[in-house]
Amino acid sequence: MKIEKKDFIFLPLGGSSEIGMNSNLYHYQDNWIMVDLGISFADETMPGVDILLPDIDFIVQRKDKLKGILLTHGHEDHMGAIQYIWDKLRVPIYGSAFTIALLKKKLKDIGLLNNVELIILNEDKEVNLGPFKIKPISITHSIPDPLSLSITTESGTVFHTGDWKFDNNPKVGAKTNLDNLKSIGDKGVLAIVGDSTNSFVEGKTQSENDAYEGLKSVIKSSNGRIVITCFASNVARIKSIIEASIENNKKVFIAGRSLNRAIEAANEVGYRVEGIEKSFKNLENFSHDSAVIIAGGSQGETRSTMTRIANSQHEQIKLKPGDTAIFSSSKIPGNELAIERVHNALLRNGIKVITDEDELVHVSGHPGKDDIIKLYNLIKPQISIPVHGTSRHLREHCQIAENCGVSLSIQPENGSLIKLSGNSPSIIYQIPTKSSVPDGNQIIKSDSSIFSTRRRLLWNGSISVVLAFDFDLDLHLPIKLSHNGITEGKSELEWVSEVRDDVEETVNSLTKNQLTDDKIIEDKVRSSIRSVTKLFFNIKPLIDVHIIRGL
Amino acid sequence: MKIEKKDFIFLPLGGSSEIGMNSNLYHYQDNWIMVDLGISFADETMPGVDILLPDIDFIVQRKDKLKGILLTHGHEDHMGAIQYIWDKLRVPIYGSAFTIALLKKKLKDIGLLNNVELIILNEDKEVNLGPFKIKPISITHSIPDPLSLSITTESGTVFHTGDWKFDNNPKVGAKTNLDNLKSIGDKGVLAIVGDSTNSFVEGKTQSENDAYEGLKSVIKSSNGRIVITCFASNVARIKSIIEASIENNKKVFIAGRSLNRAIEAANEVGYRVEGIEKSFKNLENFSHDSAVIIAGGSQGETRSTMTRIANSQHEQIKLKPGDTAIFSSSKIPGNELAIERVHNALLRNGIKVITDEDELVHVSGHPGKDDIIKLYNLIKPQISIPVHGTSRHLREHCQIAENCGVSLSIQPENGSLIKLSGNSPSIIYQIPTKSSVPDGNQIIKSDSSIFSTRRRLLWNGSISVVLAFDFDLDLHLPIKLSHNGITEGKSELEWVSEVRDDVEETVNSLTKNQLTDDKIIEDKVRSSIRSVTKLFFNIKPLIDVHIIRGL
């Protein structure tokens, strides 16, 4: 791989041919900039792993050439990795007011706030980072202050969409400025690097105002106390719920740490969230049915407010049969079963459950096919590079772009080094990438033997034994043995006794010479314990054998 | 809880307010019968657990009163638990010819075939088990030979549907006999115990013949080699695919152990599966595009044929860009991500993927709302007891029954002891149930500390240390230490050295008196290791401390 100074390069590190963990690099004239640094969540193939981080090794090796990290918006899949791996890069971070307000709260929690240079981007006000001229473009999405970025070098302009939708009535911030997008297109755009999340969804994405109207009508026709959950950072939705509730003469309470943080951040940057009661601790002062509670936990997260309410485990917030729970959110793929469990807990308690499959209580933050077509018609890029999605999503996005007359589509995977400049823009190299895992204080590669060892422990448990020999090479009895996650009860006694007998027999069968060699004893004893355990339980525990000699 | 001899009781042990693991009991005159004994699959909240078994403790305590196990059909969620827990019951098993043929193959594998009394049920031929008169009713579903059971006592008849659909052209076996159902209804039915899987699906379920027609047209218009996956036991679907392929002048190959077993069982009972090539090992003798391969693995199972083909890991079966993969199956909830990974692997290799969302290549085996209504109109039961589904599904089924004029619906959970006889049929007692897990050779309760210990190992790893003291209570150095799944590389050396120093210091700080007490040393040393490890890595491993004294 050879990158020339004059090459205008796009290199996705995460979020290309996968969902989440969005992070992208651009190169020009020996300078790099990063757009977004998000996390994703491990799926069921990785038990023992929660969060995944993109592979930033490539840019860590070139960090003196990295000018900064630009954040398109404040969702976890776009900025959640900063708290874990910014330390390896130590460059300034740029983002809109709300994005930076939200990031500040996270950095404060982990004691990094004073270390990181944070710079607020203002719409249409160009920032120069080395040879890059970056113009932040106000767009709409499901969080306040999202930005698209127009990234210009002497080799052309990339329109990097970030997550986006068209919204004529977004409830927070201005509606999408189509004239602005058109004027960018008119100046000539080399490539769109664009959101593919909803590339399979036909038609146009509805406005936040449609969700507001839907909620107003659902709240009107709902019985009892109402609990509504939504994505915590969707401040517009929180406002929609509050307004829809007040229109119906309800009192609104907020319950959930992330919700409160998002509201605080919104208030700090001037998107006032008003009309809510002070604290749900005063709930008992109001009649049961007059309350609408906005609760965190739309994805069925185990310890979230909504889940605890559903399971009757919330100290203050109680529901009764006949009450209503509204899920003003979509299901993130992989969370289906967790959400279903919460629905079922509610239904078992006689609570009515309303989701976006039943009523218009949620609208997406991503563009449907017709919106994507409209964007291509405004921006008129030469090249389409779909990101934010699995191979399927990216392929579908390419198809849409081709139907719009875009002559070249390049479908990336993480690590695809794409040369945008020159006569034949294409993937010129594929960098191998491997995600990392924040584990306690450590950042561990996801294919580390630490995780494979732990998974073996998960399925098989562990055993440790001590063989103590005196100076005459006689074995000290009884043999010390402990075990974790193997068995219990009557079987345990039988198995332990059999293991002890078998180990003793094994040791007795060794010659004096063999008994002086720790390695031989260890191997023989381990193999003896393995056999007995396989026979008893048909599992393969990890076995630690310690040898102690004459004290 | 007091069960009177004259009480006609229905007691679901599994499958009520959950998906899978179907097992049900009926009681009359001090006799019990069991209908189905299935497994379910653990979800992401139970890492380290694969299969779940219903709680049969209640009936094990009364096994001398259990007359037999009746199987409605051969799906794993209805008979998969037999191989694990039949031994605790040791009663005869009844089922249709195909069900028993399939069960025989499983029992043979585990060496139980000669121990179990297997009795084939014939349609409409009544079987008497103690006070129960049981009439097997031929029905249609997505596996050959499914049965509904008409279970009659002096206190009335229950129509136990099993999994079912109406199908006028099921491709294997006879079409649904509506006259038969009507005549059962006309004789008077106390209760339906019925399938709720598709209670949210509007309309009627399509016929297997519709899937056949859809497949024929999709195969006709598809390019290249075609791989099709379906549920292995869906013999009708296998036949549909074969016929649809031959109509299109294709050669058909079967790849997958479960598929071959199902075909063998079908052939044994007279449902001849014909028109397939001998072995896919001869694949190379045919032109690439002439082959249709029916492959196991519709749910994205890691080691299945379809997954290996998709990942280019199959020795004999290779695909090329432009080929086609057809998923002639639904997604079982919880498998969405696994299936998506297979789709993406195929797409990355340039293979076209067709699912039931794109084309009519699959029909459900369960009744939609209109079918359920039709059944209620034929059977006209006094009581509706929905089973096979989560609370949501059961509740919806109750609603449908009520709309059909059924005056009483009883929504069970596992362990709900429902008295059907007498003046006010209702749940008279709730038996606590707790599923079990087959783990190697052991059957362990799912809430056993064995699993919680293993999960702690999964997230934190394990450490074992040996403290050896001589007769003077002096500590033998260096301290023996081993660890699994904690850390690696440079951090490991630093941490081990720090742990050793800290443990030594801890031991040195103890009085002579304390040093004679193993328990005190263990606690202090464990706490010292815990502190160092928390500081280094912020994890909480399991720590085994062994103490050895003067040899």
**pLDDT tens for each residue of B278-287:** 888 889 899 9
Give the Cα separation of B381 and B291 in Å (integer): 50
User: A88 vs chain B: nearest CA distance in angstroms?
Assistant: 17
User: B534 vs chain A: nearest CA distance in angstroms?
Assistant: 8
> Given an 8 Å threshold on Cβ–Cβ distance, is A337 in contact with B333?
yes
User: B230 vs chain A: nearest CA distance in angstroms?
Assistant: 21
> Given an 8 Å threshold on Cβ–Cβ distance, is B17 in contact with A348?
yes
For residue B462, what is the nearest residue in chain A, using CA coordinates?
Answer: A462
Q: Where are the beta strands (DSSP E) in A42-168?
A: 51-52, 66-70, 93-95, 118-120, 127-129, 132-138, 147-153, 156-160
Asked if residue A244 belongs to a domain, the reply is: yes
A interface test, pick of B484, B498, B515, B531 with most A CB neighbours within 10 Å:
B484
> Given an 8 Å threshold on Cβ–Cβ distance, is B482 in contact with A464?
yes
Asked if residue B338 belongs to a domain, the reply is: yes
Q: Are residues A317 and A215 part of one domain?
A: yes
Which of A418, A440, A462 terminates a domain? The answer is A440
Q: Are residues B166 and B32 part of one domain?
A: yes
Asked if residue B4 belongs to a domain, the reply is: no
> Given an 8 Å threshold on Cβ–Cβ distance, is B461 in contact with A450?
yes
Q: Given A455, A488, A537, which is nearest B458 (Cβ)?
A: A455
- What number is the average pLDDT over the span B504-527? 97
Q: Are residues A229 and A332 part of one domain?
A: yes
Which of B323, B354, B385 terminates a domain? The answer is B354
> Given an 8 Å threshold on Cβ–Cβ distance, is B391 in contact with A440?
no
Is pLDDT above 80 for B551? no
Asked if residue A541 belongs to a domain, the reply is: yes
A interface test, pick of B19, B457, B473, B538 with most A CB neighbours within 10 Å:
B457
What letters, b where the CB count within 10 A reaches 16 and e where it falls short, cover B491-522?
eeeebbeebbebbbebbeebeeeebeeeeebb
> Given an 8 Å threshold on Cβ–Cβ distance, is A538 in contact with B441?
yes
Asked if residue B296 belongs to a domain, the reply is: yes
What letters, b where the CB count within 10 A reaches 16 and e where it falls short, cover A146-185?
bbbbbbbbebbbbbbbbbbbbbeebbbbeebeeebbeebb
Contacts by A437-444 with C-beta closer than 8 Å and gap 24+? A437/A42, A437/A49, A437/A50, A437/A51, A437/A52, A437/A53, A438/A51, A438/A53, A438/A84, A439/A49, A439/B537, A439/B539, A440/B537, A440/B538, A440/B539, A441/B536, A441/B537, A441/B538, A442/B487, A442/B491, A442/B537, A443/A53, A443/A84, A443/A85
User: A119 vs chain B: nearest CA distance in angstroms?
Assistant: 32
- Domain holding B33: CATH number? 3.60.15.10
Asked if residue A4 belongs to a domain, the reply is: no
A interface test, pick of B439, B470, B494, B530 with most A CB neighbours within 10 Å:
B439
For residue A470, what is the nearest residue in chain B, using CA coordinates?
Answer: B551
Residues of B in contact with A455 (CB under 8 A): 458
pLDDT in the model for residue A185: 97
> Given an 8 Å threshold on Cβ–Cβ distance, is A333 in contact with B333?
no
Q: Are residues A265 and A372 part of one domain?
A: no
pLDDT band for position B12 (cuts 50, 70, 90): very high
Question: Please, are residues B170 and B239 in contact by the beta-carbon 8 Å criterion?
Answer: no
For residue B392, what is the nearest residue in chain A, using CA coordinates?
Answer: A344
pLDDT in the model for residue B124: 80
Q: Are residues A189 and A167 part of one domain?
A: yes
Is pLDDT above 90 for A499? yes
Read off the amino acid at residue B109. Answer: D
Is pLDDT above 80 for A551? no
- What number is the average pLDDT over the span B409-430? 97
pLDDT in the model for residue B475: 94
Which of A354, A381, A408 terminates a domain? The answer is A354
Cα angle for residues B376, B379, B381 (degrees, 5° grid)? 80
Asked if residue A317 belongs to a domain, the reply is: yes
Is pLDDT above 80 for B102? yes
Q: Residue A464: helix, strand or coil by DSSP?
A: strand
Q: Are residues B197 and B72 part of one domain?
A: yes
pLDDT tens figures, B453-507: 999 999 999 999 999 999 899 999 999 999 999 999 999 999 999 999 999 999 9
The alpha carbon dihedral of B447, B450, B456, B459 has a sign of: negative
Element (H, E) at B352: strand B352-354
DSSP B20: S
Give the Cα separation of B419 and A409 in Å (integer): 66
Residues of A in contact with B461 (CB under 8 A): 450, 453-454, 457
Give the Cα separation of B251 and B280 in Å (integer): 10
Residues of B in contact with A348 (CB under 8 A): 17, 391, 413
User: B201 vs chain A: nearest CA distance in angstroms?
Assistant: 12
Q: Residue B380: helix, strand or coil by DSSP?
A: coil
Q: Are residues B370 and B412 part of one domain?
A: yes
A108: exposed, middle or buried (Cβ count in 10 Å: 0-12, 13-18, 19+): exposed
pLDDT tens figures, A66-82: 999 999 999 999 999 99
> Given an 8 Å threshold on Cβ–Cβ distance, is B47 in contact with A43?
no
Residues of A in contact with B353 (CB under 8 A): 392
Cβ atoms < 10 Å from Cβ of B207:
21
Residues of A in contact with B440 (CB under 8 A): 537-539
For residue A453, what is the nearest residue in chain B, using CA coordinates?
Answer: B485
Q: Given A391, A480, A551, which is nearest B347 (Cβ)?
A: A391
User: B362 vs chain A: nearest CA distance in angstroms?
Assistant: 20
Residues of A in contact with B448 (CB under 8 A): 488
Q: Are residues B144 and B159 part of one domain?
A: yes
Is pLDDT above 90 for A1? no
B interface test, pick of A347, A448, A470, A535 with most B CB neighbours within 10 Å:
A347
User: A142 vs chain B: nearest CA distance in angstroms?
Assistant: 24
> Given an 8 Å threshold on Cβ–Cβ distance, is A491 in contact with B442?
yes
For residue B440, what is the nearest residue in chain A, using CA coordinates?
Answer: A538
pTM of the full predicted structure?
0.92
Q: Where are the beta strands (DSSP E) in A390-520?
A: 408-409, 416-419, 426-430, 436-439, 442-445, 462-469, 480-484
Residues of B in contact with A470 (CB under 8 A): 551
- What number is the average pLDDT over the span B249-267? 97
> Given an 8 Å threshold on Cβ–Cβ distance, is A454 in contact with B17?
no
> Given an 8 Å threshold on Cβ–Cβ distance, is B464 in contact with A471?
no
Mean pLDDT of all residues belonging to chain B: 96
> Given an 8 Å threshold on Cβ–Cβ distance, is B440 in contact with A538?
yes
Domain extent at residue B233 = 208-354
Could you tell me how many residues make up chain B?
A: 551
**A242-246, B123-127, B173-177: range with highest mean pLDDT:** A242-246
Residues of A in contact with B17 (CB under 8 A): 344, 348
Q: Residue B119: helix, strand or coil by DSSP?
A: strand
Residues of A in contact with B451 (CB under 8 A): 485
- Percent of chain B past pLDDT 90, that is, above it, reads 95
Asked if residue A251 belongs to a domain, the reply is: yes
pLDDT tens figures, A301-356: 999 999 999 999 999 999 999 999 999 999 998 899 999 999 999 998 999 999 99
Mean pLDDT of all residues belonging to chain A: 96
User: B548 vs chain A: nearest CA distance in angstroms?
Assistant: 8
A interface test, pick of B354, B544, B548 with most A CB neighbours within 10 Å:
B544
For residue B550, what is the nearest residue in chain A, using CA coordinates?
Answer: A551
> Given an 8 Å threshold on Cβ–Cβ distance, is A441 in contact with B538?
yes
For residue A485, what is the nearest residue in chain B, using CA coordinates?
Answer: B450
A508: exposed, middle or buried (Cβ count in 10 Å: 0-12, 13-18, 19+): exposed
Q: Are residues A517 and A427 part of one domain?
A: no
> Given an 8 Å threshold on Cβ–Cβ distance, is A485 in contact with B453?
yes
Q: Are residues B214 and B72 part of one domain?
A: no
User: B44 vs chain A: nearest CA distance in angstroms?
Assistant: 6
pLDDT in the model for residue A292: 98
Size of interface A-B (CB pairs under 8 A): 185
Give the Cα separation of B439 and A460 in Å (integer): 9
Q: Are residues A468 and A408 part of one domain?
A: no
User: A469 vs chain B: nearest CA distance in angstroms?
Assistant: 7
- Domain holding B514: CATH number? 3.10.20.580
pLDDT in the model for residue B279: 87
- Domain holding A346: CATH number? 3.40.50.10710
Number of domains in chain B: 3
> Given an 8 Å threshold on Cβ–Cβ distance, is A392 in contact with B455?
no
Q: Given A334, A458, A466, which is nearest B455 (Cβ)?
A: A458
Pairing of strands B226-229, B381-387: unpaired
Residues of B in contact with A450 (CB under 8 A): 461, 485-488
According to DSSP H, which parts of A223-365 are helical?
Answer: 235-247, 257-268, 305-310, 336-348
Give the Cα separation of A189 and A179 in Å (integer): 15
Name the residue among B76, B442, B307 with its Cα closest to residue A459: B442
Which of A123 and A373 is assigned the larger pLDDT? A373
Q: Are residues B401 and B470 part of one domain?
A: no
Q: Given B344, B459, B464, which is nearest A390 (Cβ)?
A: B344
Tokens of B282: 């001869």
Give the Cα separation of B209 and B213 in Å (integer): 6
